[in-house]
Amino acid sequence: MHANRRRGAATAITLPAIIVIVRGQVPSRNISNQSMPPNSHGQQEGEHHKQLSQLTAEVLALDPRTREAGISFRRYTKLPDGQYTYPDVYAAEWQSGPGVFEIQLSTTQLPTIVRREDFYARAKIRLAWIVGFQSGGLDRRSFMDIHLRNDGQILGMDDEVADEARKTGEPRFRLYRLLPGPAREGFEARWRNRIVKPNEINWGMPGERPRSSAACYDCFVDESVKRDEALAGFRDDFYGALANADAASAGTIWDKAVGIVGGLLWKDLPADAVSALGVLATVRTGRLCLPTKIPATNLPHLVNAMLLEPEERRCWTHAFELLCRAKGLLNLLSRSSVRDKCNRNRMEYSSAIPVDGTAGPVFNVFFPEGSFYRLGFETRGTLMA
């Protein structure tokens, strides 16, 4: 992971077996007053970074099993292939396995974030990114590169969280979530946060990253549509129009939805949208939503012949891939014929914003799956067509 680091950084740090920073009612055994070692670039961390690391360690130590196993700062962690790193806070036992807590306060480029996440995934160590209290700064690029890879979620630590943890004698975290607003406000994403217990977090398997145990972003979008009688009716009627290849009716319904939530009008979509969207609706519902003799049970043949191969429909490949991942249709995506066409189509449109990204909120009314990942695209730009 850090092959480009100076070798001196690996030898300049001498760590005791266990370093635990604890305060308050936490037992004082395993405490070391040694100053925090340099970061992975051989530099001393800023005071805020150091304080947040110490606060995180104190809160983690409120779990007896975690405290007993030990909590380390900048623990030298190495993979069999020689790649290594120094996590900010390392817990030898957290949620039935080792866990690391990386403090994120400054700008970190996406390749660095990806390398860290990949490192801990291969090491089978749970990774939690930790931020300080945020009143609105989570839209900074350094934070976006993290939460846009994790369903709009990131954990935080601050004095209020620590105070509640000390009062209860149990670990606490602040959960920041990017969630969709009301459908009739275009599902505009908004930040929400609350203090949570560890059991309110799905910590996943070793090597995975934590998420709220509540529903995912896409599910919130879907429920918002279902709760709106008009939009829910539009979706049912739209699928019916697609099944009959009735472009005029489908367009009318689509534009009515645009009038409520916003987005591109039907006339501005790529040609033959009715057939392409019919395939997507078939994948989503499991029933045929376009005129064809190919049964819905033969999805590989149907999506190849009716969506991925026709040139005028290839621009919908991105929406198809997101939909399959959300529906758990990974076997369909892994079929060689489907995979190869997806790769080809992706290359053909690599310089354009996907059409499902430029279509705007109206697309999420009819196909909520993938709505979170579409947040990463600007709603302006060149349409894939």
Please give the angle made by the CA atoms of 289, 295 and 300, to the nearest 5 degrees: 95
Q: What is the pLDDT of residue 113?
A: 85
Which of residues 214, 245, 273 is at a domain's end? Answer: 214
Same domain? 183 vs 228: no
Q: How many domains does the chain have?
A: 2
- pLDDT confidence of residue 21: 38
For residue 114, the model assigns a pLDDT of 86
In three-state secondary structure terms, 189 is strand
Could you tell me if residue 189 is inside a domain?
Answer: yes
Q: Which two tokens stand for residue 371?
A: 């709505």
pLDDT band for position 352 (cuts 50, 70, 90):
confident
260 and 137 fall within a common domain: no
Mean pLDDT estimate for the chain: 85
φ/ψ (deg, to 5) at 204: 70, -170
**Per-residue pLDDT, 41:** 39
C-alpha angle with apex 363: 358 to 367, nearest 5 degrees? 135
Q: What pLDDT, in 10s, does the model give residues 244-295? A: 999 999 999 999 999 999 999 999 999 999 999 999 999 999 999 999 999 9
Single-letter amino acid, residue 216: C
> Domain containing 75: what range?
8-214
Do residue 228 and residue 345 come from a single domain?
Answer: yes
With respect to residue 332, please indicate whether it lies within any of the assigned structural domains. Answer: yes
Confidence at 135, pLDDT banded by 50, 70, 90: low
Q: What is the dihedral of CA 230, 236, 241, 247, to 10 degrees?
A: 50
Q: Which residues pair with 71 in a beta bridge?
A: 91
Residues 200 and 171 in one domain: yes
Same domain, 49 and 73: yes
Sheet holding 99-103, edge to edge: 71-73, 89-91, 99-103, 126-131, 153-156, 173-180, 189-196
Q: pLDDT of 286-295, one tens digit each?
A: 999 999 999 9
**43 three-class SS:** coil
pTM for the model: 0.79
pLDDT value of residue 9: 29
| Residue 383 falls inside a structural domain | no
d(CA 210, CA 195): 15
Tell how far CA 339 is from the center of its chain. 23
In whole angstroms, what is the distance from residue 16 CA to residue 97 CA?
A: 21
Specify whether the backbone of 174 is left (phi greater than 0), alpha (psi in -120 to 50) or beta: beta
Last residue of a domain, one of 165, 187, 214: 214
Domain-ending residue, one of 214, 236, 266? 214
Do residue 276 and residue 329 come from a single domain?
A: yes
In sequence order, which residues have a C-beta less than 8 Å from that of residue 305 and are 6 or more positions away? 294
Distance between CA atoms of 172 and 103, rounded to whole angstroms?
Answer: 16
Q: Looking at the structure, do residues 123 and 70 belong to the same domain, yes or no?
A: yes
Residues 166 and 236 in one domain: no
Q: Each residue of 25-81: pLDDT tens digit?
A: 333 333 333 344 445 433 446 888 899 999 999 999 999 999 999 999 999 999 999
